[in-house]
Structure 1
């Protein structure tokens, strides 16, 4: 496995080095950019688009700038190890988009903007591996639905990021990519399973990124990396062309440094897909643009439920909890009304998750539709030992599941439906637009230690949408996220609340270990 891991590292670093040989820093501790035409650090998508429009920068130059940062910080300096594969056509794609803009104008706000994908999104021109040696070199026949939508909007797919292997964990370690590190403290995990995307966007390796969330996997990396992350309503965005973990809970969505950027990416990726029938639920529920919901005064008069069961009571919960309580006070200062909401008997993730039961069947169906995949089933992966050692028990337990036609499966489905109904009724009874709570009750754990304190199930097990936004930093220096949970297809409300809080507080700050490159 070490041999495969080394090859995985080579994919991104060798490509970046080949493109940027003239850019490579002589001293890794003091990286230098090849030219100081445009500093991409913390630039929003509207700022990047405006700079392209005025001629201050081209899309090609943006690609080069982000590649220089990847070269400087992904395998040097803090060695974040966030990127699995770079798109060898990224510069050519950017050049074509620059020519198209000059000839016909921009397609929209994402025209020429570099985006990173979690490597469980199908790409017809790059491997899609779920960060596993089992799928090393596997190239799907076509892009996944959301990837096609991004390309149609003019985005440049810069590359693909590491993830917790097959998305089956929350600390981002894999046989192909190894351990991704947190840019705020490389001795800690970046969250998961979309931790490669989280670390990359926090370190300004691209304008925004895509992740997936089966139970926290967009929101945890966002919280741990001082990002905004949206888990959309089940049915708002297609899952076709995404390596599945458990389709009853899987969704794909954006991670970005600002709420505005999340809204722009959501505009491009939301919508019905015949290959994912659940998206038929979105008919008539998608606004012309989610950016119209963004209102600096959006907290004024909003009634919010402070969801007390998810704050925790253990002493270890107070570090993040105190940051979120301060965030709630800031919401009140901006005109929000809050009410404490308590709910007895809230099930834990382990008591309600369908991941163990569904994984084998969903993965096997995906592999059956991926003729170039080097393996054909979870059983083959298990038999050949093609998994990270930490996943052996989970993979073997999933492989032992004989059928989904079982009392256990039906009972868990019923529990999830009951929780969904209970949460919606609670919001209705309390007359609140959203529930508010810590994304996780604990900050990022040290590498090699388990990550505890997650609050993923309220959204993941119900299909309800949730957005996390930077709440601040704990006394250990690590980022903390505050999460808003809403009713089905209430993304406009959630974006409005998150934007108003973001603009009032500006709690995000970039990692000090990945500064602007010195010209």
Structure 2
């Protein structure tokens, strides 16, 4: 505002009413302040609790806030609350800049991409340009990938913003707890004396505590479904071959799957839809050609359990369960019935125990050394012996590294014995036994608790670890298995219900889990993390 304008306003105000010198001075000072004082624009207040992709996109289109506002709010939440749970390994320093570019794009096009402006937390064993990919290990603490993993490129193309990477169990060794040499121990946000499970515990704890919209984990045997179960989340282990494993630090590549960890089935479905696809660098994805629908969200059907046939696998659920978990599982069966499903109880798989035995093949050395040669490319970090030499701060990891260094994967295990779920005879036989029972009973899915026991205390995680059902079927057979919240124990710790399907039956599992989720609404955030 110019001096002439200010004076003219004063004169107009002064003529009708002979104002005092004091009032005139006040008006003048206000006008000077308006013209010269710098006022900071206030960030819009955003309630981050339980935000979904759909709600975020509605807010964007209605102008309540934009991507930059949301990213800033989540970063603030991480800075204020993550010390208590230690879920985040690094915040992306470019997240705000990426958000601003997406906001400019939306203003220009008025089109939102499928995950436009959606902040996502990525487990620290998935290659991301410009951010360390450490797998929680000292040997990789300085490794910054030159290329994104295939699935990261797909997520970015869909508009997702990598806001942070999450702590994990070192080398993904532990299904029990989440401890790394780079970041230390992650705690369960529902009770910080307890584990969030492993190895994707950082992603799980962060998502449960509402520190991002959605997240990614990897699952060799348990590591998506276990932490999701312990943190009242939805976790999808998809059919082996539906989603590329390229650019992921392996544990056992023949078992490894990357997948969504989210607070709702709908959000997990939206993320999975973007990630699925054929990748020339991961030949196993060729198996999904023609088997993946273009639109998975069409299967988000609220009455999806009506006339569904669900089998109960007592072989797993009755393995020394905690009484409270058993009660929650029985309640879940009743809920499924009340929501329209027909329950077949029990389902008996012939020779289940023998078929499930000796399915593991310790290919860590071969898979890891291949990753190091392809991506890390450092003369000082080429072999498992280099990893052992560099060392670890975790006693658990030290014992595992010692074990693996003493195993000569070949010739102790021939190529034929270490094939994937499409070629290994033992794996195929196990899957056929399960799917043949499903066919004979016309089952849509089989259910069991994701864990038969509640989360263990961090200080006693090895003694109290038991009841993990996730590692027994899906990693070996290649079948999809989804976990959804099943309720809480008396000490307010979450439990999960797992749905196992046929190969490429993700549409059916989405329909069943969405209907169960909508009919029960078990998910709730940690009370001490409400904002």
- Common fold: TM-score over 0.5: yes
Q: Give deviations 1:181-239, integer Å, cap 9, x for gaps.
A: 00000000001110000000000010000000000100001000000000010000000
Aligned residue among 459, 467, 479 for 1:453: 467
Equivalence map 1:397-412=2 (5 Å)? 397-406=403-412, 410=416
Q: Which deviates more from structure 2 when the two are superposed, residues 393-402 or residues 43-52?
A: 393-402
Distance 1:47 1:348 in 2: 48
Aligned twin of 1:428: 439
Give the Cα–Cα distance (whole angstroms) in 1 for the partners of residues 155 and 374 of structure 2: 22
Structure 2 matches for 1:457-468, cutoff 5 A?
Answer: 457-468=472-483
Once residues 359 and 144 of structure 2 are traced to their aligned partners in structure 1, the CA distance between those partners, rounded to angstroms, is 30
Contact 2:51/2:213 (<8 A) preserved: yes
1:463–1:59 Cα change, 3 Å: same
List gaps (5 residues or longer) in structure 1: 1-33
Q: Residue deviations 1:67-124, cap 9 Å, x none?
A: 111111111xxx1000001100000000000001111233423101100000001011
Cα deviations across residues 233-279 of structure 1 (Å, max 9, x unaligned)? Answer: 00000000100110110000000000000010011111010000000
Tell me which residue corresponds to 1:441: 452
TM-score (norm 1): 0.89
Question: 231, 234, 243: which one pairs with 2:240?
Answer: 234
Structure 1 residue runs of 4+, over 6 Å off?
A: none
Structure 2 residue 497 is matched with structure 1 residue 482: yes
Alignment of 1:292 onto 2:298: yes
Query: Shift in Å at residue 411 of structure 1?
Result: 5.2
Matched residue of 1:187: which SS?
Answer: coil
Aligned mates of 1:174, 1:383 — CA distance in 2: 17
Alpha-carbon distance between aligned partners in 1 of 2:300 and 2:503, rounded to the nearest angstrom: 19
Q: How many Å apart are 1:320 and its aligned residue?
A: 1.2
1:347-373 alpha-carbon deviations (Å, 9 max, x no partner):
499943535x20010000000012455
Taking the aligned partners of 1:349 and 1:49, their CA distance within structure 2 comes to 47
C-alpha distance 350-494 of structure 1, shift in aligned 2 (>3 A) = closer
Q: Deviation at 1:387?
A: 5.8
Q: Deviations over 1:114-143 (max 9, x none)?
A: 000000010111110001111012011100
Q: 1:306 aligns with which of 299, 307, 312?
A: 312
Which stretch has the larger CA shift, 396-405 or 160-169? 396-405
Between the two proteins, the alignment pairs up a number of residues equal to: 478
Trace 1:185-224 onto structure 2 (pairs within 5 A): 185-224=191-230
Number of the residue aligned with 1:131:
136
Does structure 1 residue 275 correspond to structure 2 residue 281?
A: yes
Deviation (angstroms), 1:428: 1.2
Q: Is the 8 A contact 1:138 1:372 kept in 2?
A: no
Match in the other structure for 1:58: 66
Q: Indicate if the aligned counterparts of 2:149 and 2:248 stay in contact, CA closer than 8 A.
A: yes
SS in 2 for 1:204: coil
In structure 2, distance between residues paired with 1:40 and 1:363 = 38
For residue 31 of structure 1, what is the aligned residue in structure 2? none
Over the residues paired in the alignment, what is the CA RMSD in angstroms? 1.8
Q: Compared with structure 1, are the counterparts of its residues 122 and 349 closer, same or farther at alpha carbon in structure 2 (3 Å cutoff)?
A: farther
Provide TM-score, normalisation by structure 2. 0.87
Residue 368 of structure 2 corresponds to residue 363 of structure 1: yes
1-side partners of 2:403 and 2:355: how far apart?
17
Q: CA deviation at 1:443?
A: 1.1
Q: CA deviation at 1:290?
A: 0.9
SS at match of 1:230: strand
3-state SS of paired residue (2:497): strand
- Distance in 1, Cα, partners of 2:386 & 2:353: 34
CA distance in 2, matches of 1:187, 1:252: 28
Tell me the equivalent position of 1:67. 75
Task: Please name the residue that 1:321 is paired with.
Answer: 326
What secondary structure, in the 3-state scheme, does the structure 2 residue paired with 1:253 have?
A: strand
Among residues 376, 395, 401, which one is paired with 1:389 in the alignment?
Answer: 395
- Cα distance change of structure 1 residues 423 and 194 upon mapping to structure 2, 3 Å threshold: same
> Which residue does the alignment assign to 1:508?
523
Q: Is the 8 A contact 1:352 1:461 kept in 2?
A: no
Alignment of 1:61-210 (within 5 A): 61-75=69-83, 79-170=84-175, 171-210=177-216
Q: What's the secondary structure of 1:513's corresponding residue?
A: helix
